[in-house]
């Protein structure tokens, strides 16, 4: 394939992931989940541990927070997980 075809396919994939929309839903336990085309997922008040197949980032170690919020942010479909608890 030539470079113009690869560029067009890459731009279409990028546009599909960015413009696929976002959704906010209220779960039964009161948490809000927001999805931005799979690139980012924000769980508020979620004190669940991060999964085994992710790069965990702990906000209390980096920022030294005293009162954690319990938020969890997953980036790149769960490849990187930032937790604040």
pLDDT, residue 54, reads 86
Walk along the chain (85 residues) and give the pLDDT tens digit of each residue.
688 888 888 888 777 766 666 666 676 666 667 676 677 888 877 777 777 888 888 877 776 666 777 788 888 888 888 888 7
pLDDT, residue 43, reads 80
Q: Domain boundaries in the chain?
A: 20-83
Cβ-proximal residues to 85 (8 Å cutoff; 6+ apart), any chain: 47, 59, 60, 68, 69, 70, 71, 72
- SS3 string, the chain, reads CCHHHHHHHHHHHHHHHHCCCEEEEECCCCCEEEEECCCEEEECCCCCCCCCCCEEEEHHHHHCCCCCCCCEEEECCCCEEEECC
């Amino acid at each position: 394939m030539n470079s113009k075809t690869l560029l067009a396919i890459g731009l279409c994939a990028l546009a599909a992931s960015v413009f696929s929309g976002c959704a906010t839903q209220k779960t039964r336990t009161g948490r809000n989940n927001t999805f931005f085309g799979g690139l980012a997922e924000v769980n508020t008040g979620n004190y669940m541990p991060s999964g085994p197949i992710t790069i965990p980032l702990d906000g209390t170690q980096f920022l030294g927070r005293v009162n954690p919020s319990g938020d969890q942010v997953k980036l790149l479909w769960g490849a990187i997980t930032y937790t604040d608890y």
